[in-house]
Amino acid sequence: MNKRYVIILMSRGWLLCLILFLLMSSIAYSFPYKGLDIKIKGAVGEMYDDNITSAIDNGNKKEDFITNLTLGLGAKYEGKTNSLEFMGNINHQIFTEHNNFDNTSGEFSLNLQSEFTEHERISLKNMYTHTYEPGDFEGALGRTTGRYSFDRNIFNLNYIRDITKELSLNIRYANELNKFLREDLKDSSLNSIGFEVDYSPSPVTILLFSYKFIKREFKNGEDASTNTVSTGIRQYITPRLYFDGNVGVDLITSYDNKEYTKPLVGISITDEIDKKTMASLSFSKQYQTGAYRESLFNSWRTSGALTRELLERLGCFLSAFYGKGEYVTLEITEKLWGANIGFTYDFMEHLKGNFTYTYFNKNSTVLTEEYSKNTIFGGLTTEF
Does the pTM of the predicted model rise above 0.95?
Answer: no
Q: 135 and 114 in contact (C-beta within 8 Å)?
A: no
Q: 30 and 51 in contact (C-beta within 8 Å)?
A: no
* Helix, strand, or coil (residue 348): strand
Averaged pLDDT of the chain: 92
What is the model's pLDDT at position 9?
A: 46
What is the model's pLDDT at position 89?
A: 97
What is the model's pLDDT at position 261?
A: 98
Is the model more confident about 141 or about 384?
141
Q: Is residue 52 very low, low, confident or very high in pLDDT (cuts 50, 70, 90)?
A: very high
CA–CA separation, 154 and 27 (whole Å): 30
Torsion from C-alpha of 359, 365, 366, 371, nearest 10 degrees: 10
CA–CA separation, 182 and 91 (whole Å): 21
Helical segments of the chain, H only:
3-26, 137-140
Q: Is residue 107 very low, low, confident or very high in pLDDT (cuts 50, 70, 90)?
A: very high
Spell out where 293-331 has E strands: 296-309, 314-327
Number of domains observed in the structure of the chain: 1
pLDDT digits (tens, 9 = 90+) for 301-320: 999 999 999 999 999 999 99
CATH number reported for the structural domain that contains residue 230 in this entry: 2.40.160
Strand partners, 156: 125, 174
Domain membership of residue 193 as a residue range: 3-383
What is the model's pLDDT at position 384?
A: 73
What is the model's pLDDT at position 335?
A: 98
State mean pLDDT over 104-108: 98
> What contacts 37, CB < 8 A, 6 or more positions away?
30, 75, 76, 77, 78
CA–CA separation, 144 and 369 (whole Å): 7
| 13-17, 42-46, 332-336: the lowest-pLDDT one | 13-17
CA–CA separation, 165 and 158 (whole Å): 19
pLDDT digits (tens, 9 = 90+) for 193-245: 999 999 999 999 999 999 999 999 999 999 999 999 999 999 999 999 999 99
State mean pLDDT over 285-290: 96
Q: 213 and 230 in contact (C-beta within 8 Å)?
A: no
